[in-house]
Amino acid sequence: IARFLSKNWRFLEKAWKLGASEPRKVIHCLKVGVALSLVSLFYYMRPLYDGVGGTAMWAVMTVVVVFEYTVGATLYKCINRATGTFLAGSLGIGVHWVASQSGEKFEPIIAGIPVFLLASAATFSRFIPSIKARFDYGAMIFILTFSLVSVAGYRVEKLFEMAHNRVSTIVLGTSICICTSMLICPVWAGNELHLLINRNMEKLADSLEGCVAECFNRDGIVKTSDDDFSKKLQGYKFALNSKASEESMANFARWEPAHGPFNFRHPWKQYLKIGAAMRNCSCCVESLSSCINSEIQIPKFLKKNFSEVCMRLSAHCSEVLKEMVVTMKTMTKSSTTDLLVEEMNFAVQELQNALKALPNQLISPHGSANDTKVETTSKQFIVPVIEIVPLATTISLLSEIAARIEGIV
Amino acid sequence: IARFLSKNWRFLEKAWKLGASEPRKVIHCLKVGVALSLVSLFYYMRPLYDGVGGTAMWAVMTVVVVFEYTVGATLYKCINRATGTFLAGSLGIGVHWVASQSGEKFEPIIAGIPVFLLASAATFSRFIPSIKARFDYGAMIFILTFSLVSVAGYRVEKLFEMAHNRVSTIVLGTSICICTSMLICPVWAGNELHLLINRNMEKLADSLEGCVAECFNRDGIVKTSDDDFSKKLQGYKFALNSKASEESMANFARWEPAHGPFNFRHPWKQYLKIGAAMRNCSCCVESLSSCINSEIQIPKFLKKNFSEVCMRLSAHCSEVLKEMVVTMKTMTKSSTTDLLVEEMNFAVQELQNALKALPNQLISPHGSANDTKVETTSKQFIVPVIEIVPLATTISLLSEIAARIEGIV
């Protein structure tokens, strides 16, 4: 029992930490409560209850099912649910009318066949990627309402009234949802996406810089192995793993109206492109860091030789990335970006020159005894260049994207 | 109008191709139709309809909402829905009883406060990762049923009967879903995951081999730029991007009973580990391929020098990967895996030796005039080694996992 209690306690503690670190999630929970209480009012007040014909249940259901964390997701579900219900409802009534004209005996068959066919077709449409991204939920609701109306029509007499009630309660539920999610501390999917990309880019810049610094200061004066630093170093992993959340947020962001600095037709797809470019970069950082952790060490004289150039290059790279963050935040193309990219390319050139100069230096003071070492070390040093080639391309890509964003916003 | 028609036509064509390429998805659609038709029977047959007390609507709804592509997902939703409904229903009745004891005036307040509190708490619990993975849907259903029962209780007289009907219809719906999804051409999430990992590993092996081959045959006799080959080269991207689907499938696979060669407590988490290791590998392949596409070319004499060693190494690597695929397919540890890993490590050694021998060769026949070239080329050649260091570690990891899989299965 003691173990069970302590387990429970730890679980609660974890939950509390989660809530403390992200107060907006707690606010979201309260919002759900508020929306539900608003809907419940329709039950408790006699005039309101009679107004919707006693089917207020659907409104409660709509609120629970539709209310999501971000405004975009809520809107997506609301619009899908409303249109799906409306379409399927009208179609269902049509089918029911045809079936009821055909006599008692054939009615189930004539009503049943469209259910089978349409349900299969709508399920299939959910597999098509372009529909899945936008209307997945709508297709489900379509199947649901259509089969409910056309099947229930066989038993329920006042079918038209039922359909009408269902549509009106759903509209009621969705409007309550939209109001609460948009008016009380709204969480915009677009804004979240924007912040996520910014945060990831910053982390990437930090970890790139940290990686190269670690590479050259390894047996330096300060053994920088504190937790904070290694966390920074792992920052690129966030950029690498956030593909799914980026995509879903970009998907939801499309449904949102203009908010804050974003217009209605904000180029959300550009964010996905930036995300992909960043994943590309973090792949390189990943390989770079795996080199650092390999057993082969860099000899000191080489380290001295190269550390300056490499450090400068990585500093320039992360500067460009950070400048990009600023550019994205203000959403204007700053004139310094080009300058910084220029500087970075210059640093790449410098590093290449240093590499070219290397063999001469080595051969003269050390002779061939050091040859094997040269290999292992140049192996170590070459990585940054390799790493920088795609980095440079992605960064030029990024600046192009920034120009485009600036052009549209 | 012509444009609209042609657009529609293309869309239909695309859908047809999708259906033709994955017949199991079409079968799934038909399964949904079958399940819905079965449920509709309850409406059309008078004795059955009376048996569930006229609330067969819930059964239809359950089927539509719960039926998913894989068995695991269906089971997950069924179990979550049933337990969520049951828990919330009993709790809701309890709250309703307390509220009804407190008199007409306070009843809405006493019934409303628990709705607010429990809805907020359950919504919050959906943010906790460990609960989200397993009980996300259940928490939603819990909120739904609880608010329905406790709110509707204010108006509906026969509350107990209503709750009982709801539970029984949901059980009916879920059992129909489980039967159709498990008996008619079942799609097991576990099996899908298994195949996905296998396929990705094969693709990774192919693209690794292809990459190195491309690297050394670039200005060779045959310009292998046909579509098929470049598709192969891009194979590593599948491994890189399938994180989300792997995770969701492993999640669903946990709910599945024993099927085919998999037991109930199959170590699905191992698959996630393999997937992560493969993503690591494909990161390296990514950097490698970006080197191939860079402008710096390898001088011919070096290419001749190294091509054999590198090709052998890549061949060994992909051999090990393919052996792993076989190992996973048969789920027994083959004795050749160790041998192949051994061979691969030997090839790594060979490559390193060749690299060590390189400077001497270069200095003797060419003198210092070629020095700059040495740098750019060693830059090119070093990549495979860099690439191989994590690859070797991942492969040893993989073989360890294979041993574990063999131990458990």
A287, B287: Cβ pair inside 8 Å?
A: yes
Give the single-character DSSP code of B294.
S
A151, B43: Cβ pair inside 8 Å?
A: yes
Q: What is the mean pLDDT of residues B375-385?
A: 44
Q: What pLDDT is recorded for position B386? A: 47
What percent of chain B shows pLDDT beyond 70? 55
- Residue A262 backbone phi and psi in degrees, to 5: -100, 135
> Shortest CB distance from A29 goes to which of B112, B123, B291?
B123
ipTM of the shown complex: 0.73
Instruction: Compute the distance between CA of residue B219 and CA of residue B239 in angstroms, rounded to an integer.
Output: 29
Q: What is the mean pLDDT of residues B377-387?
A: 45
Choice between B274 and B26, residue whose per-residue pLDDT is larger: B26
- List all residues of chain B from 356 to 375 with a beta carbon under 8 Å from chain A: 356, 358-360, 363, 368, 371-372, 374-375
Tell whether B119 is within 8 A of chain A (Cβ).
yes
pLDDT digits (tens, 9 = 90+) for B132-157: 777 888 888 888 888 877 776 666 66
Instruction: Compute the distance between CA of residue B408 and CA of residue B331 in angstroms, rounded to an integer.
Output: 10
Identify the closest residue of chain A to B19 by CA–CA distance: A124
Q: What pLDDT is recorded for position A219? A: 47
Chain B closest-CA separation from residue A34 CA (Å): 7
B372, A356: Cβ pair inside 8 Å?
A: yes
Tell whether B152 is within 8 A of chain A (Cβ).
yes
Q: Per-residue confidence at B351, pLDDT binned at 50, 70, 90?
A: low
Tell me which amino acid residue A72 is: G
- Residue A13 backbone phi and psi in degrees, to 5: -60, -45
A116, B33: Cβ pair inside 8 Å?
A: yes
pLDDT digits (tens, 9 = 90+) for A153-203: 666 666 677 777 777 778 888 888 888 887 877 778 777 888 887 787 777
Residue with tokens 């924007």: A194
Residues in B closer than 8 angstroms to A119, CB to CB, are 29, 32-33, 36, 64
> Shortest CB distance from B32 goes to which of A123, A290, A291?
A123
Q: Per-residue confidence at B177, pLDDT binned at 50, 70, 90?
A: confident
Q: What pLDDT is recorded for position B46? A: 62
Instruction: Compute the distance between CA of residue A122 and CA of residue A115 in angstroms, rounded to an integer.
Output: 10
Instruction: Compute the distance between CA of residue B89 and CA of residue B140 in angstroms, rounded to an integer.
Output: 13
Identify the closest residue of chain A to B392 by CA–CA distance: A294
pTM of the model: 0.75
List all residues 6 or more positions away from B318 whose beta carbon is below 8 Å from its beta carbon: B205, B206, B208, B209
Chain A closest-CA separation from residue B154 CA (Å): 7
pLDDT digits (tens, 9 = 90+) for A5-25: 888 888 888 878 877 787 888
Residue A36's closest CA among B138, B110, B112, B86? Answer: B112
Q: What pLDDT is recorded for position B357? A: 60
- Residue B2 burial (CB count, 10 A): 6
Tell whether B397 is within 8 A of chain A (Cβ).
no
B360 pLDDT above the threshold of 60:
no
Give helix B268-292 / helix B189-216 axis angle, nearest 10°.
Answer: 20
Provide the terminal-to-terminal Cα distance of chain B, rounded to the nearest Å: 60
Is the sign of the CA dihedral A41, A44, A47, A52 positive or negative?
positive
Q: How many residues does chain B have?
A: 409
Tell whether B204 is within 8 A of chain A (Cβ).
no
Residue B213's closest CA among B286, B325, B68, B311? Answer: B311
Q: What pLDDT is recorded for position B26? A: 81
Q: What is the mean pLDDT of residues B178-188?
A: 79
Q: What pLDDT is recorded for position A19? A: 75
A283, B283: Cβ pair inside 8 Å?
A: yes
Q: State both tokens at A345.
A: 């390319």
Q: What pLDDT is recorded for position A186? A: 77
Tell whether B115 is within 8 A of chain A (Cβ).
yes
Tell whether A119 is within 8 A of chain B (Cβ).
yes
Q: State both tokens at B43.
A: 């409406």
pLDDT digits (tens, 9 = 90+) for B6-52: 888 888 888 788 777 878 888 888 888 888 888 777 766 665 556 55
Q: What pLDDT is recorded for position A59? A: 77
Identify the closest residue of chain A to B54 by CA–CA distance: A155
- Residue B262 burial (CB count, 10 A): 20
Instruction: Please give the full DSSP string across B302-317, using - where no structure is assigned.
Output: HHHHHHHHHHHHHHHH
Residue A150's closest CA among B51, B47, B44, B53? Answer: B44
- List all residues of chain B from 238 to 297 with a beta carbon under 8 Å from chain A: 240-241, 243-244, 280, 283-284, 286-287, 290-291, 294
A115, B40: Cβ pair inside 8 Å?
A: yes
B40, A371: Cβ pair inside 8 Å?
A: no
The three-class DSSP label of residue B295 is coil
Q: What is the mean pLDDT of residues B174-202?
A: 80
- Report how far apart, in Å, the C-alpha atoms of B211 and of each of A378, B234, B283, B292, B390 are: 23, 9, 13, 8, 17
B245 pLDDT above the threshold of 50:
yes
A379, B386: Cβ pair inside 8 Å?
A: yes
- Residue B28 burial (CB count, 10 A): 24
Indicate the range of B1-5, B26-30, B123-127, B265-269 predicted with least confidence.
B265-269
- Report how far apart, in Å, the C-alpha atoms of A61 and of each of A34, A76, B59, B175, B270 are: 14, 16, 16, 23, 39
Residues A385/A310, Cβ–Cβ less than 8 Å:
no
Residue A151's closest CA among A201, A213, A93? Answer: A93
A36, B359: Cβ pair inside 8 Å?
A: no
A290, B389: Cβ pair inside 8 Å?
A: yes
B401 pLDDT above the threshold of 70:
no
Instruction: Compute the distance between CA of residue B173 and CA of residue B165 in angstroms, rounded to an integer.
Output: 12
Chain A closest-CA separation from residue B332 CA (Å): 31
A123, B372: Cβ pair inside 8 Å?
A: no
Q: Per-residue confidence at B289, pLDDT binned at 50, 70, 90?
A: low
Q: What is the mean pLDDT of residues B238-242?
A: 74
Provide the terminal-to-terminal Cα distance of chain A, rounded to the nearest Å: 60
- Residue A345 pairs in a beta bridge with none
B14, A128: Cβ pair inside 8 Å?
A: yes
The three-class DSSP label of residue B259 is strand
Give the single-character DSSP code of B10.
H
pLDDT digits (tens, 9 = 90+) for B216-227: 665 444 444 555
Residue with tokens 């809405």: B108
A378, B382: Cβ pair inside 8 Å?
A: yes
Choice between B359 and A188, residue whose per-residue pLDDT is larger: A188
- Residue B259 backbone phi and psi in degrees, to 5: -150, 140
Tell whether B48 is within 8 A of chain A (Cβ).
no
- The string over B167-196, giving b where at least 16 C-beta atoms fall within 10 Å of a residue's C-beta and e elsewhere, is bbbbbbbbebbbebbbeeebbbbbbbbbeb
Residues in B closer than 8 angstroms to A120, CB to CB, are 29-30, 32-33
Instruction: Compute the distance between CA of residue A300 and CA of residue A49 in angstroms, rounded to an integer.
Output: 82
Strands (E), B64-175: none
B43, A363: Cβ pair inside 8 Å?
A: no
Instruction: Compute the distance between CA of residue A367 and CA of residue A176 in angstroms, rounded to an integer.
Output: 81
Chain A closest-CA separation from residue B390 CA (Å): 7
> Shortest CB distance from B28 goes to which of A26, A123, A359?
A123
Tell whether B23 is within 8 A of chain A (Cβ).
no
Chain A closest-CA separation from residue B272 CA (Å): 14
The three-class DSSP label of residue B262 is strand
Helices marked H in B2-69 — which ranges? 2-21, 23-44, 46-51, 57-66
Residues B284/B387, Cβ–Cβ less than 8 Å:
yes
- 3 state SS for chain A: CHHHHHHHHHHHHHHHHHHHHCHHHHHHHHHHHHHHHHHHHHHHCHHHHHHCCCCCHHHHHHHHHHCCCCHHHHHHHHHHHHHHHHHHHHHHHHHHHHHHHCHHHHHHHHHHHHHHHHHHHHHHHCCCHHHHHHHHHHHHHHHHHHHHHHHHCCCCCCHHHHHHHHHHHHHHHHHHHHHHHHHCCCCCHHHHHHHHHHHHHHHHHHHHHHHHHHHHCCCCCCCCCCHHHHHHHCCHHHHHHCHHHHHHHHHHHCCCCCECCECCCCCHHHHHHHHHHHHHHHHHHHHHHHHHCCCCCCCHHHHHHHHHHHHHHHHHHHHHHHHHHHHHHHCCCCCHHHHHHHHHHHHHHHHHHHHHHHHHHHHHHHHHHHHHHHHHHHHHHHHHHHHHHHHHHHHHHHHHHHHHHHHHC
The count of CB pairs under 8 A between chains A and B is 219
Helices marked H in B267-299 — which ranges? 268-292
Q: What pLDDT is recorded for position B141? A: 84
Q: What pLDDT is recorded for position B370? A: 35
Q: What pLDDT is recorded for position B131? A: 76
Residues B301/B381, Cβ–Cβ less than 8 Å:
no
The three-class DSSP label of residue B179 is helix
B356, A375: Cβ pair inside 8 Å?
A: yes
Q: What is the mean pLDDT of residues B194-208?
A: 78
In order along its 409 residues, chain A shows pLDDT tens digits of 778 888 888 888 887 887 778 788 888 888 888 888 887 777 666 665 565 555 667 777 788 888 888 888 888 888 888 888 888 888 888 887 777 777 767 777 777 788 788 888 888 888 877 777 778 888 888 888 888 777 766 666 666 777 777 777 788 888 888 888 878 777 787 778 888 877 877 777 777 777 667 666 654 444 445 556 666 667 777 777 777 788 888 888 777 777 666 666 666 777 777 777 777 777 667 666 665 655 455 555 556 666 666 677 677 777 777 777 776 676 665 666 666 666 766 766 666 666 666 554 443 333 333 333 334 444 444 444 445 555 555 555 555 555 555 554 4
